[in-house]
Structure 1
């Protein structure tokens, strides 16, 4: 493999923009500002998402569409131009097809699916096909969603257990610039925190197209000196598929809490179970030749079962010197996944279906302290934290036919542990200059016990990641952000101990490093000179020593070549009136492998352009509505760019009415224009019956569901 791309600090375009913007802003001079102190900023960024909101954000029922209540968190002072906090109400004002789509409120993030609705989503951000979570770190109530050394792909992040109405807020960071963010956070990180209480209990029921039915209850009540919150959800859904998804999902949450996010604690239990039949991506030639329709399948027995149990707790205490926080969790998850992506390529008799087994217990926690103080009379904060995690994993890959096991490809027990120490200093030098300097050190240790002793072994690795941020301004309601940071993602521990191909023990394989470094830099400008409007432009660059790519015939991600991405983001949020809000964002990315290879330099499935826009209107009573447009741009599907996907543009809408008695009625229309497009596309070899033994290279797609309606009636009591 060629050497990694050169590290640039900062890249040339950053220097150019920094020079020009600094000159222009310096001429304008500093202006008055209501910006919070650095200490207030840190506490808000770290603790705000744990605070209860006024209630579950359902439709337009929890307040007006615009104003500071809806978008104020996005306007909070930040250490980068590409970070922010989104309230749960903003998320729940948007019509969604699946729970993971609430994350599309993060500007530039696409959440989609290539299989049944019980499987983890596909994520796209900043020119990355993040597969099921390989370079976007997702946590829910302090618990990691990303699973390392996972059966279906490194970083697999299944958030189907999330109940959107319980989301209090979402804190997002893009790029490896935050010392608290570690594994899988190179492209970005998303922290989801759920509410502690609701002012009025909620019961709702939804029915819709293609057999969609959902029931939800949320209730909270005083208990002793604290509050007990409970929630239960049940959902069934068939979808438009010839072979119905037949989803049967159950979800439950119970939380006891006392105090506040700064001085209090909570203890939360979650339980989730789901089973489904999947229609996976299908080859375009099978549709063109009339073998199946767009919603047909070539293996009607694909699907899976998933379950998750968790217990988590958080504790925090504030004093004159700062804030101390601690959290801990234990998770037990199970996944049985049956897929057939290549049909009869590897086994012309039984077919290529395989079972991926992942059973694990995950335990970990974090303890951190934010120290407030001064340095030579300057306002300063220091944050120091320790994070730990341990995964006890049973992971296996088996050849199957109609979900009946035929043979074992590999069967492994893995124990993987990690520990991290991070430190960050945040210092306000003047009214118009503040800095953040941080460093993070991670250590990993993994033991693999494989059914083939040649692939057993131990792997250890460590990495140190420096971070740097500078914020200039505000001048004339404008701030300039400059950031540099190094991050990493972990590889599957089995790849760090492997010596021979599990399917062919006579074929040797090279080991991969356990940790892979990333290097990022960005510069951004944020302006609020127009009342109610926040507009941000960010230029970014991210280099990887090794790219993670999806492998179709195995259903996993594997390390590949070094890469570089450069791009620009433009985001806008406009609270026009207390009852009308507009927003829009655009991301354009240039993604390339950084080494030379005759195969080509394009990164398969890396999106060039992503855009979104919409409006939300309404107040706490009466009519409300929203309309959302989402553009998922074309992507190269092969390294030489000879095959490309088509863009996908979707429009979703909602209209509803809030009655004075606490009843809400709303109608969601998904894929309002009824477009025929793809959720996702891949290009690889597969073989149908009667085709050549070597298979046929073809585009494989998962179609967008046709227009669907969902009617919801909710009551508060």
Structure 2
């Protein structure tokens, strides 16, 4: 995508610059539309980047909005709690929790929330409206200068459309209490376009305790998309509340104490809302292309969870509440231009990214959502600024390079209810980036990539000296954690209709730092190393059939030796997906997705593992005239009884020893369900 932008920048430079081998705008259009399969050859900077088009997103059958991200090769999206909670992400040998090393942006706004009450990098995608998604771009590894915090495993950006080809009125109904209504349309207004959308959704799920999930979503946008200066202004609003059936102990199901769809504490759940105002501007001139993106966002989350049941408090139980309220503001600036140096065409990009978070979060002991005591409360102000420069040089016809450097500076100011945990910290980090691209030969391009990256740690962990739960001394952690990535890969379109890629990667982390929101403390762990291979292929043999397949295998280990073992709990090993879609067969269309979620070690010595999980989703639709579609969607069509996620830890049920029992805890895959959607265009 960056190369396309810079090529467009070349179009507005003087003729002498254009003569240096920069493609014309018509050539770009031919690559992007006339030859869809070939468009990344000669433009991508690695084997692991790509774009998922709107039509591909539309063909996916997703149980929840965040599962749209599973169109990214090698990425698994799951859930271990109620629908309103952020998804759990797995990729490249990581259990990414709710987003610790996967940078997610929607319409230019960072979704990952730092120093969050539940977990660092918390990424809640429940505010997504799939019908508004224009495309999805993904980049993996720390090789890209414009990607900062949380991007070590990769980064994903989903854009929203400025204009709909027709209005949408959609109504869906299904078993397990599912209802959804959506209205969206766009209208010309003056020199621009107004877009609006409103969504209502309810769902109970298959659980013994009904989720009673209720969600609203709304979007209002004004945009101007012609001329040298283009911009949009967007307001979004989202709110939800729900009951949750969290992971449950295997022994409770085996003994018949509860059903596999039951809960130990049926009062778990939560509520959340998110409101944002954003703007984006792009200006093209004789000096290049300048982009500005700025936004402000307010969010409020309250989670009620009980993972250990009666281990800490045999009388009232161990339910706790995690509260996070914040105002987040950010501005991203970039300028791209093309010039010549020593006879070579050089594409340049400089950028600056600013972010401010004002956060109030807390950890409370509760019973049936009523507060019993306060473990900790904190007011956090976190500021950061990142600067980057990147250039691309076409040294020879079959060789080019992309080099960059990025510097990030962070300021933390924590005011805790325990003065021993208050304080201020500062940290900075600089990372180089380099990609070497060879070819293409026989429609095949080869890549070597190197880069440094990082993730920030929770601000509270950088100043905490006393464990707020036990009162014991704890060590402060470093604010920023470095990662270093290496990769070799290729991309080919040697077979007509096929685009395939192969990548071998390694990623080193200085420390598996993690803020444990359940305990209110940050626990640093050992350095780690991940090695793996990813292969993906998109095949479109004709106008009515597409086949999308990917498989990834990774080995994740702590480095050094430790009697406890070197396996990283929850680190994914193998994952595979197969998606087949048909369209343009008269009035009929449909798709199916087969998904393999491989075993994970649950403890450091690998004596306890999760099982494999295989699921199958699909949809079948009929076009009734030009304005109406009827779509039947099916989820977990194999009705597998496998697990969405597994953990191994100690908990206590009534009547068990005071020290508790170490056991596997799991959240089952939702049972088979169906939905019928009526979609009308107007």
Q: How far off its partner does 1:263 sit? A: 3.3
**Aligned equivalents of 1:36, 1:386: Cα separation in 2:** 16
1:646 to 604, 611, 627: 611
Between the aligned partners of 1:354 and 1:261, the Cα distance in structure 2 is 54
Residue 79 of structure 2: aligned partner: 113
Cα distance per residue 1:260-296 (max 9 Å; x no partner): 4973000000000000000000000000000001100
Change (3 A) 1:667 1:161: same
Which of 547, 551, 558 is the aligned partner of 2:512? 547
CA gap of 1:620–1:261, structure 2 versus 1, over 3 A, is farther
1:155-194 equivalent positions in 2, closer than 5 A:
155-194=121-160
1:474 aligned onto 2:458: no
1:377 deviates by 2.1
Contact 2:477-2:522 within 8 A present in 1 as well? no
- Distance in 2 (alpha carbons) for counterparts of 1:97 and 1:555: 32
**Partner of 1:689 in structure 2?**
654
Counterpart pick for 1:263 among 210, 229, 236: 229
Q: Could you say which residue in structure 1 is the equivalent of 2:495?
A: 530
Confirm or deny: 8 A CA contact 2:37 2:493 kept in the other structure. no
Work out which of the residue numbers 450, 463, 470 in structure 2 matches 1:504.
470
Q: Secondary structure at the match of 1:151?
A: coil
Aligned match of 1:569 in 512, 534, 539?
A: 534
* Structure 2 residue corresponding to 1:623, chosen from 585, 588, 591: 588
- Listed as ranges, the matches of 1:81-120 within 5 Å are 81-120=47-86
2:251 aligned counterpart, secondary structure: helix
Q: Distance in 1 between matches of 2:432 and 2:156?
A: 20
Give the secondary structure class of the aligned counterpart of 2:67: helix
Q: Which residue in 2 is equivalent to 1:513?
A: 478
2:203 is aligned, of 231, 234, 237, to 237
Question: Following the alignment from structure 2 to structure 1, what is the Cα–Cα distance between the partners of residues 500 and 398?
Answer: 19
CA distance in 2, matches of 1:568, 1:470: 19
Alpha-carbon distance in 2 for matches of 1:92, 1:38: 24
Report if aligned partners of 1:382, 1:425 keep a CA contact under 8 Å in 2. Answer: yes
2:173 maps to which residue? 207
Give the distance between the partners of 1:37 and 1:174, measured in 2 at CA.
17
CA distance in 2, matches of 1:412, 1:545: 27
* TM-score (ref. length: structure 1): 0.90
Aligned partner (choices 91, 114, 120) of residue 154 of structure 1: 120
Distance 2:628 2:39 in 1: 28
Change (3 A) 1:342 1:134: same
Matched, 1:612 2:581: no
Contact in 1 for aligned 2:363/2:520 (Cα 8 Å): no
Q: RMSD across aligned C-alpha pairs, in angstroms? A: 1.9
Aligned position for 2:325 = 359
CA gap of 1:553–1:314, structure 2 versus 1, over 3 A, is closer
Alpha-carbon spacing, 1:557–1:125, altered in 2? closer, same or farther (3 Å): farther
Is residue 566 of structure 2 the alignment partner of residue 601 of structure 1? Answer: yes
8 Å Cα contact 1:552/1:684 also seen in 2: no
What SS does the corresponding residue of 1:494 show, helix, strand or coil? helix
Q: Deviations over 1:192-236 (max 9, x none)?
A: 110001111010000112011100011100111100000000000
In structure 1, the residue matched to 2:544 is 579
1:458 aligns with 2:424: yes
Structure 2 vs 1, CA of residues 446 and 242 (structure 1 numbering), >3 Å: closer, same or farther? Answer: same
Residue 216 to residue 38, structure 1, CA distance change in 2 (3 Å) = closer
Alignment of 1:446 onto 2:415? no
Where do 1:238-317 residues align within 5 Å? 238-260=204-226, 263-317=229-283
Q: Label 1:622 to 1:557 Cα distance change in 2 as closer, same or farther (>3 A).
A: farther
SS at match of 2:581: strand
Gap change, CA 1:170 and 1:42, over 3 Å in 2: farther
Distance (whole Å) between structure 2 residues aligned to residue 589 and residue 550 of structure 1: 24
Distance 1:557 1:524 in 2: 36
Structure 1 residue runs without a partner (length 5+): 1-34, 45-65
Displacement, 1:619? Answer: 1.6
When structure 1 is superposed on structure 2, of 673-682 and 655-664 the one drifting more is: 655-664
Measured in 1, the distance between the counterparts of 2:482 and 2:230 equals 37
Partner SS for 2:420:
helix
- Does the CA contact (< 8 Å) of 1:261 and 1:316 recur in 2? no
- CA, structure 1 residues 173+225, in 2 after alignment: closer, same or farther (shift >3 Å)? same
1: CA distance, partners of 2:103 / 2:456? 12
Q: What's 2:637 paired with?
A: 672
TM-score (norm 2): 0.94
Distance change (3 Å), C-alpha of 1:426 and 1:39: farther
Indicate the SS of the match to 1:133: coil
Distance 1:513 1:43, change over 3 A: farther
Q: What displacement does 1:89 show?
A: 1.7
What are the superposed Cα offsets for residues 72-94 of structure 1, whole Å, 9 maximum, x if unpaired?
76667200110011112211211
> How far apart, in 2, do the equivalents of 1:206 and 1:700 lie?
33
SS at match of 1:182: coil
- Structure 1 residues 69 and 87: CA distance shift in structure 2, 3 A: farther
Counterpart residue number, 2:16: none
Distance change >3 Å, CA 629–CA 177, structure 1 → 2: same
By how many angstroms is 1:321 displaced?
2.9
Give the unaligned 5+ runs of structure 2.
Answer: 11-31
Higher relative contact order (CA 8 A, sep 6+): 1
In structure 2, the partner of 1:130 is 96
Are residues 1:715 and 2:668 paired? no
Give the CA deviation at 1:657: 1.2
| Shift in alpha-carbon separation, 1:500–1:607, aligned structure 2, 3 A | same
Relative to structure 1, the CA distance from residue 238 to residue 558 in structure 2 (aligned partners, 3 Å threshold; closer, same or farther) is farther
- Contact 1:152–1:555 (CA<8 Å) still a contact in 2? no
Structure 1 residues 685, 486: closer, same or farther in 2, change over 3 A?
same
Contact kept, 8 Å, 2:9 with 2:338, in 1: the verdict is no
- Asked if the contact 1:38/1:381 (under 8 Å) is kept, the reply is no
Matched, 1:415 2:381: yes
